[in-house]
C-alpha cells in the first residue's frame, strides 16, 4: 500500500474508532451542541493559560457559551490517554508541526477554510501550511513565530561594535563579548552565544537549522506527490555544519557545555552572562524584565552565504475527531482568529489573580492585526520580518524522527572539534534516506 493510501485509510479508521468509542464513553452523551459548552485544551503553564483565558472569557461573555478550559503541561501524554478513551477534547491548540502525526492517528478532523467566518483574513499561504498529505486542510491557523537574533545592546554599544550583518560579524561580536569585558565589571565572566545544544527533543536542530538554510542547504525536498527526497548531503550543508562546529570550538563564543543544554538550562542571557541568543520572540518580555528593555535588541538575521532565512513554527486550532459539537468547534475557532481575540492574547497583562499573562499569539495569523502597533514595540516588526523570511519543516508528515536524526548528527559534530563535518553530514544523509524508506515516503 502506498504512503498516501495508508495515511488516508489510517486517518479514516482512526477517526471512526475514536468517534465510536466516544459514543460509548461517559463523555459521549450524543447531545451535540445542546449543553452549550465546549472543552478546549492548550499546552500551557500558568502564565500562558492566563493569556488564553482572556479570550475565552470574552467569547463566553459575547455568546453565552461556556468553556471547559484545561491548560495541560504533559500535553502529548494526556492527549494520547484521552484518545485511547475515545473522548478527545472538542478543540485543542498545539504545535502546527504535529499536524501530520495527528492526521495519521485520526485524532483531528479536516477543516473547510471557506466555511470559517473570518478565514479570508488569514493569508492563503498560511492556510496552505495546514494541508495534509491527503490534500485536505487540518487545523485553523492560530499563531506563528520565527527565531530571532537577540543581542545585548548595551554590551555591543559599550564595545563600539556595529550590529552584526553577516555570520562573520556574529562570530566577531560573540568573541568580543567573551573577551572584552562588555559589562565593565573587570571580571572574565561573560560569553557570546546562548545555545540549547542538546540533541534531546531536537533542541540543537531548532537552533541550528536556520544556518543550514542560510548556507543554501536543506534537509528534505518535497516532491509534490506525497513523497520526499533527502537532500542533506550537499556542500552547502557542510559549510553550515563546519561553521556551527567552529562556534562551539572557539573558546567563549558559545557558553561552555552547551552541547548538553536544553532551553530549561539556558538562563544566561537573562542572568547577564551571555549576550547573543537565537531564540523565539516569546522570551522578549522575560528578557526585558531581567535586563531592561533598552538593553534588549533584535537584529535582522545575520546573513550566511545564501541569505537570512529563519526557522518558523506555529500553533493551530485542531478539531478533536471524537467531538459531536461541530457548530461550537467552528464558533470558537472563528472567534479566536478575530482581531479582537488575537490582540487579547498578545498582551502581557495581569489577570484578577495577579498572574501576568505570557502572550500566546506571537505573529498574528489575522492580516488585519499590526503586531508592532498592538505591542507598542517596533522590535516586533523585526519579528514579523523574520517570519516573512522563514521556512519550517514539512508539517504534513511526522517530522520528529527526521528532526532527531539531524539533531543527533549536529550535536556529535559540535561536541567533537576533531570531527569531520563532511563525514557527519554524509552519515545524516544515509539515515534520512533510510527513514524515508521505512516511512514509505521515499520518492
Q: What is the pLDDT of residues 374-398, one digit of tens each?
A: 999 999 999 999 999 999 999 999 9
Residue 304 main-chain phi, psi, to 5 deg: -95, -170
Q: Give the integer Cα–Cα distance in Å for 349 and 278.
A: 26
Q: State the Cα–Cα distance between residues 176 and 191, nearest whole angstrom.
A: 9
179 with 403: CB under 8 angstroms?
no
- Burial string for 253-289 (b: 16+ CB within 10 Å, else e) reads bbbeebbebebeebebbbebebbbbbbbbebbbbbbe
The three-state (H, E, C) secondary structure of the chain, written as one string: CCHHHHHHHHHHHHHHHHHHHHHHCCCCCCCCCCCCEEEEEEECCHHHHHHHHHHHHHHHHHHCCEEEEEEECCHHHHHHHHHHHCCCCCEEEEEHHHHHHHHHHCCECECCHHHCCCHHHCCHHHHHCCECCCCCEECEEEEEEECEEEEEHHHHHHCCCCCCCEHHHHHHHHHHHHHCCCCCCCCCCCEEEECCCCCHHHHHHHHHHHHHHHHCCCCEEECCCCCEEECCCCHHHHHHHHHHHHHHHCCCCECCCHHHCCHHHCCHHHHCCEEEEEECHHHHHHHHHHHCHHHEEEECCCEECCECCEEEEEEEEEEECCCCCHHHHHHHHHHHCCHHHHHHCCCCCECCCCCECCCCCCEECCCCCCHHHHHCCCHHHHHHHHHHCEECCCCCCCCHHHHHHHHHHHHHHHHCCCCCHHHHHHHHHHHHHHHHHHCCCEC
| Full pLDDT tens readout for the chain, 443 residues | 444 444 444 444 344 444 443 343 333 333 344 468 999 999 999 999 999 999 999 999 999 999 999 999 999 999 999 999 999 999 999 999 999 999 999 999 999 999 999 999 999 999 999 999 999 999 999 999 999 999 999 999 999 999 999 999 999 999 999 999 999 999 999 999 999 999 999 999 999 999 999 999 999 999 988 899 999 999 999 999 999 999 999 999 999 999 999 999 999 999 999 999 999 999 998 999 999 999 999 999 999 999 999 999 999 999 999 999 999 999 999 999 999 999 999 988 999 999 999 999 999 999 999 999 999 999 999 999 999 999 999 999 999 999 999 999 999 999 999 999 999 999 999 999 999 999 999 98
How much is the pTM?
0.88
Q: C-alpha cell of 10?
A: 489510517
pLDDT at 27: 37
Q: Pick the closest to residue 423 from 245, 177, 173, 267 (CA basis).
A: 245
pLDDT, tens digit (0-9, with 9 covering 90-100), for 291-309: 999 999 999 999 999 999 9
pLDDT score recorded for residue 348:
87
**CB 208, CB 244: distance < 8 Å:** yes
Find out whether 396 and 133 touch, Cβ atoms under 8 Å. Answer: yes
The pLDDT score that the predictor gives to residue 12 is 43
**Tens of pLDDT, residues 311-356:** 999 999 999 999 999 999 999 999 999 999 999 999 889 999 999 9
**What's the pLDDT at 14?**
45
Cα–Cα distances in Å, from 163 out to 159, 269, 374, 389, 402? Answer: 11, 17, 26, 19, 34
Say how far apart CA 385 and CA 301 lie, in whole Å.
10
Would you state the cell numbers that stand for residue 332, as one nine-digit string? 470558537
Please provide residue 439's backbone torsions phi and psi, each rounded to the nearest 5 degrees: -85, 0
Give the CA diameter of the chain: 70
Of the candidates 161, 174, 150, which has an alpha carbon nearest to the alpha carbon of residue 298?
Answer: 150
d(CA 425, CA 438): 20
pLDDT at position 16: 41
Cα separation, 4 vs 169, whole angstroms = 46
- 139: alpha, beta or left? (left if phi > 0; alpha if psi -120 to 50): left
pLDDT of residue 210: 98
What is residue 158's predicted lDDT score, i.e. its pLDDT? 98
Amino acid at each position: 500500500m502506498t504512503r498516501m493510501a495508508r495515511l488516508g485509510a489510517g486517518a479514516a479508521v482512526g477517526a471512526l474508532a475514536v468517534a465510536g468509542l466516544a459514543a460509548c464513553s461517559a463523555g459521549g452523551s450524543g447531545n451535540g451542541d445542546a449543553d452549550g459548552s465546549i472543552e478546549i485544551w492548550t499546552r500551557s503553564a500558568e502564565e500562558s493559560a492566563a493569556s488564553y483565558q482572556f479570550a475565552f472569557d470574552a467569547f463566553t461573555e459575547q455568546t453565552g457559551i461556556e468553556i471547559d478550559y484545561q491548560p495541560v503541561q504533559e500535553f502529548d501524554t494526556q492527549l494520547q490517554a484521552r484518545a485511547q478513551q475515545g473522548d478527545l477534547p472538542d478543540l485543542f491548540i498545539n504545535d502546527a508541526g504535529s499536524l501530520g502525526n495527528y492526521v495519521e492517528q485520526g485524532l483531528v478532523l479536516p477543516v473547510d477554510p471557506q466555511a470559517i467566518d473570518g478565514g479570508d483574513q488569514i493569508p492563503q499561504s498560511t492556510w496552505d501550511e495546514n494541508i495534509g498529505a491527503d490534500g485536505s486542510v487540518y487545523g485553523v491557523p492560530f499563531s506563528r513565530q520565527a527565531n530571532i537574533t537577540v543581542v545585548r545592546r548595551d554590551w555591543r554599544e559599550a564595545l563600539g561594535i556595529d550590529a552584526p550583518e553577516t555570520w562573520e560579524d556574529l562570530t566577531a561580536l560573540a568573541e568580543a563579548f567573551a573577551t572584552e569585558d562588555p559589562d565593565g565589571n573587570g571580571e572574565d565572566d561573560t560569553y557570546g552565544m546562548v545555545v540549547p545544544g542538546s540533541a534531546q527533543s531536537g533542541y540543537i536542530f531548532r537552533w541550528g537549522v536556520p544556518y543550514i538554510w542560510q548556507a543554501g542547504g536543506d534537509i528534505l525536498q518535497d516532491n509534490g506527490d506525497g513523497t520526499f527526497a533527502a537532500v542533506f548531503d550537499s556542500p552547502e550543508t557542510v559549510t553550515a555544519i563546519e561553521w556551527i562546529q567552529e562556534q562551539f570550538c572557539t573558546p567563549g563564543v558559545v557558553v561552555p557545555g552547551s552541547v548538553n543544554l536544553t532551553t530549561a538550562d539556558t538562563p544566561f542571557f537573562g542572568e547577564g552572562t551571555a549576550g547573543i541568543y537565537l531564540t523565539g520572540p516569546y522570551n522578549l518580555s522575560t528578557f526585558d524584565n531581567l535586563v531592561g528593555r533598552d538593553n534588549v535588541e533584535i537584529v535582522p538575521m545575520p546573513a550566511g552565504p545564501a541569505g537570512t532565512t529563519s526557522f518558523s513554527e506555529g500553533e493551530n486550532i485542531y478539531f478533536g475527531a471524537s467531538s459531536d459539537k461541530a457548530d461550537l468547534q467552528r464558533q470558537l475557532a472563528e472567534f479566536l482568529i478575530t482581531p479582537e481575540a488575537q490582540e487579547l492574547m498578545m498582551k502581557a497583562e495581569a489577570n484578577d489573580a495577579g498572574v501576568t499573562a505570557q502572550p500566546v499569539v506571537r505573529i498574528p495569523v489575522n492580516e488585519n492585526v499590526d503586531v508592532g502597533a498592538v505591542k507598542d514595540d517596533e522590535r516586533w516588526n523585526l519579528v514579523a520580518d523574520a517570519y516573512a523570511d522563514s521556512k519550517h519543516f514539512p508539517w504534513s508528515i511526522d517530522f520528529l524522527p527526521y528532526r532527531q536524526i539531524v539533531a543527533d548528527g549536529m550535536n556529535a559534530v559540535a561536541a567533537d572539534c576533531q570531527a569531520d563535518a563532511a563525514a557527519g553530514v554524509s552519515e545524516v544523509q544515509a539515515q534520512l534516506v533510510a527513514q524515508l524508506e521505512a516511512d514509505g515516503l521515499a520518492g
